[in-house]
Structures are given as C-alpha cells and as structure tokens.
Structure 1
Amino acid sequence: MTRVLVVEDDPQLARALVINLQARHYGVDAAPDGATALRLTAVRPPDAVLLDLGLPDMDGVDVIKGLQGWTRAPVLVLSARQSSGEKVSALDAGADDYITKPFSMDELLARLRAAVRRAADLPPVPETTPVETDDFTVDLLAKKVVRGGRDVRLTPTEWNLLEILVTHPGRLVTQKHLLQEVWGLSRSSRTNYLRVYMAQLRRKLEKDPSHPRYLITEPGMGYRFEA
C-alpha cells in the first residue's frame, strides 16, 4: 500500500485529503505542523508527501529541507502562494511539484500518481564505493561531493541532477527525463532550468567550465556523465 503523509494545518482540507486518499486505498498519516511531519517521517517513512507551505510552526520550505534527511519520497507542495519566487524557492529546496490552491482533487490525485511512479523508477542509491574522478569524488551514500580535499556545497536541485547523471555513467540522460525527475511532470519542457543548473554544477566541479570534462552536453538531447 502506498503511504502518503498529509501536512496541512487547515482541519477541513486535511480531512478532505485524508478521506479522498483513503477512498482510493492509500495509507495516510496526517500532520498539522512541520515538527509533527518530520517526526512521523522518521517513524513511518511515507511514499509521498503532500505539504502546505503555510504551517504554524515553520515555513514549508524548511520542512522540505528537513524531510530530505529522512526520505527520498516525492514532495508535492499545496499552497495558496502563487508568486514565481515562492514556487522557485520550494522547487529549489527539493519539492517535486507545486500545486496552487484551490485545486481540483482529480488533478491532485493524478499528479500524486505520477510522482509516485517517477519515484519508483529512480535507480536505488548504489551501496558501493564513491564515484571518483581525477578532480572530485561523489559519495552517493553520504550525499556529498569532495573536491581538492574540501566539501563542495550543492543545492538540493544541483545534487539531484548530479546523482541521476553519475548513476548512469557514460549514458545519455535526456532533457525530458532530467526535468521530470528533478522538477516534476509540469516542468518537463523547461529546458532553461537545465542550462542554468548544469552551468552551476560545472562552475563547482569542472576545472574549465566552458570546456567540461565530466558533465557533457549532447546538443538537443540531454546530458552525459563521463568519469
């Protein structure tokens, strides 16, 4: 049974979400605030999270960051905040999708199903030695990168991109696949996202970002990691 964690401080909306999910045979946990959400995630890891940003005890973006320490489950933000800045902040923090209130329950459930399918298709984090290159090392288990003896600070979005690429060494990963895995189905045509974040990764990891050795662009198709 797929388990969903609903993080929503509006009792009526939380109840509606729980009822609709249970009617479709999801297991459901509900949390009225961020602290409860993080505690439940540690005790009973969910397969997906529906998260309101406007929580009484902490901002939803901080909850997204906290969840990443406990689970790889996709996070779907449900929020009345409609500004592009709010959406970018949530997606950069690691959210998989952003749904503005009010929303159609059918659309929410469709996006939830899509997010769960994408998560199931993600390759497991290999229980192997770190990925090593001549210039940097990627430790998939510790979720960190070391270059020149120092940790490289990556944003959650940068890490997600790098993790997908290094777990498919030498293989072309299409733009569409990267966009769907990192930003969600609704962003699958935003190739400008990829250009921006790949440029940031290259500045942090490549000796010569303008002539990358490891993070290779396949024009019009996608990207490839060469160890």
Structure 2
Amino acid sequence: MTDAAEHSQAPLVLVVDDEAPIRRFLRAGLEMNGFRVVEADTAQAANEIAVMRQPDLVVLDLGLPDADGASVVETLRGWSQVPVIVLSVRKSETEKIKLLESGADDYIVKPFGMGELLARVRVVLRRVVRQETADPVVKVGGLAIDLARRLVSRDGAAIILSPKQFALLRLLAVHHGSVMTHRQLMRELWPQEPDEDVQYLRILMKKLRNRIEPDPARPIYLVTELAIGYRLRTQEQLDAFGYVAAI
C-alpha cells in the first residue's frame, strides 16, 4: 500500500474550536501521530462538516461563538454515534455529568497535554473497533473479561461474580477507558427504579472491587471519578499510573 493510500485510511478527526492557535496545536499533534484532521470554528460549521465528511472522531471545545458546544453533542447524537471528546475550561462536576449523559464519550479539562489527548482518542477509537468487530474480550493488566461467555479472570484464576456484579463490570467494560456516570449506571442496572439511592451502586461497586482488585482499598482497575461515576482503566491508563501487568 502506498503512503497516500495508507493516509487515506487513517482515522479522520474533526477538531472544533474557535481559537486558531488551539486548532493548529491539535492539528499538528494529531497529524504527527497518523490522524487526518478537518477543522471547524463554529457550531454550524461543525454540524455541516460532520454530515459531509463523516469523521471517525470529534474533538469539541465547548466555548463556541454561535452556540454552546453541548448543543453540538446533542445534534450529533440525533443522527450519529461518532465518538466525541469534549475540551473545556469548566471544572464543574454537574457540567461534566450533563455532557456525558447527553452523549459525549469523554472530556478533558484545559490545559492539557497532547499525550493525554492522544490516549483518550485511542481509547474511544479502540472501543468503536471492538464494538464493530464484536470482539468479546476486554483485557487490562491481569484482568480478562469475556463478555460473550460471561467469564472473568485475574492472573489466570477464574473469578465468580453475581449476576448484578457482572452486569456492572460489563457496562464498564463496554465503555472501557471512558467514564460512566452514576445515573447512567443506575438506569442500566435498575431500569425500574433509575432514581434509586446511588448508595446501592456504591455498595455494588465495593463488592465487585473485593472480587477483582488485588487491593480493594486501592483499586487499580475500577477507579472512581469523584462525584461523577466510575471508569474501567485501559492498559495505557494502567501503565500511566505505574502499575505492571501480570505476565
């Protein structure tokens, strides 16, 4: 395959930000790491380009001149499941929860490094590939989750989970590397009582950690996003914190 052909197969990222220096920074970093990039500086342009170019991923700043970036997420989710990573200077947990529940896949608070962004980009793109190819096994460190056969093991030893514990682990594995909010998890686990006390979820998570974590008091796989929800770390995220996978 020629270089031109390989480049045409590279994932296309739509970068949406009204500040030209930030777009240049993002374009340079993404293209240097093998991605193709298109840019938009308004919500309207973002929506039009998304329809015309069908990007593989959207990196979206919230502070746009013609609309809040959150409205772009809502518009996209009306017709597309393209992954969206939100960039924001806002640190409000309420805002983050709202974005995640409206359809964003992840968020990064400014300022951030290119390494952090690239790690998030790879996580969401890998999840899309796994879903499209129906790959049923999620592995991180010594933990292996076979979603099709409902089998879980750590360092080769089988772990027995209750149906509800596996249901929680499955949700986090399907969204491997990304945050799921308390409300999202509650709605999936207790659909008849989605507004039940989140304490039930915390108790369930504690029991699950007792089963799969080497040290439940200091979890390395299932981590808490304070006041927001939970995340099952990827191998890259595990490595970033200095944990060594089992051989």
TM range (shorter): 0.5 to 0.7
Q: CA deviation at 1:199?
A: 5.8
Out of 15, 28, 33, the residue aligned to residue 6 of structure 1 is: 15
Question: For residue 53 of structure 2, what is the amino acid of its counterpart?
Answer: R
- Asked if the contact 2:171/2:185 (under 8 Å) is kept, the reply is no
TM-score under structure 1 length normalisation: 0.63
% of aligned pairs identical? Answer: 37
CA distance in structure 2 between the partners assigned to 1:195 and 1:107 by the alignment: 25
- Asked if the contact 1:41/1:70 (under 8 Å) is kept, the reply is no
Q: 1:29 to 1:120 in 2, by over 3 A?
A: same
- Asked if the contact 2:47/2:76 (under 8 Å) is kept, the reply is yes
User: Displaced runs of 4+ in structure 1, greater than 4 A?
Assistant: 168-174, 192-195
Q: 1:113 to 1:201 in 2, by over 3 A?
A: same
Out of 107, 129, 132, the residue aligned to residue 98 of structure 1 is: 107
Structure 1 gaps, min length 5: 126-167, 210-216, 222-227
- Asked if the contact 2:12/2:37 (under 8 Å) is kept, the reply is yes
Q: CA-atom RMSD, angstroms?
A: 3.0
Output aligned runs, 1:117-132, within 5 Å: 117-123=126-132
Q: Which residue of 2 aligns with 1:130?
A: none
Question: For residue 14 of structure 2, what is the amino acid of its counterpart?
Answer: L
- Asked if the contact 1:42/1:70 (under 8 Å) is kept, the reply is no
- Asked if the contact 2:101/2:184 (under 8 Å) is kept, the reply is no
CA distance in structure 1 between the partners assigned to 2:126 and 2:63 by the alignment: 27
Q: 1:7 to 1:195 in 2, by over 3 A?
A: closer
Q: Which residue of 1 aligns with 2:241?
A: none
Q: 1:180 to 1:54 in 2, by over 3 A?
A: farther
Q: 1:181 to 1:10 in 2, by over 3 A?
A: farther
2:177 equivalent to 1:185 = yes
2:28 equivalent to 1:38 = no
Q: 1:137-157: per-residue Cα shift (whole Å, max 9, x none)?
A: xxxxxxxxxxxxxxxxxxxxx
Q: 1:52 to 1:177 in 2, by over 3 A?
A: farther
CA distance in structure 1 between the partners assigned to 2:81 and 2:184 by the alignment: 21
Out of 196, 202, 213, the residue aligned to residue 192 of structure 2 is: 202
CA distance in structure 2 between the partners assigned to 1:193 and 1:84 by the alignment: 13
Q: 1:85 to 1:36 in 2, by over 3 A?
A: same
Q: 1:56 to 1:176 in 2, by over 3 A?
A: farther
TM-score under structure 2 length normalisation: 0.58
Q: 1:48-86: per-residue Cα shift (whole Å, max 9, x none)?
A: 110111111111111101112342111101100001011
Aligned length: 164
Q: Which residue of 2 aligns with 1:15?
A: 24
Q: Which residue of 1 aligns with 2:96?
A: 87
Q: Which residue of 2 aligns with 1:67?
A: 76
Q: 1:180 to 1:97 in 2, by over 3 A?
A: farther
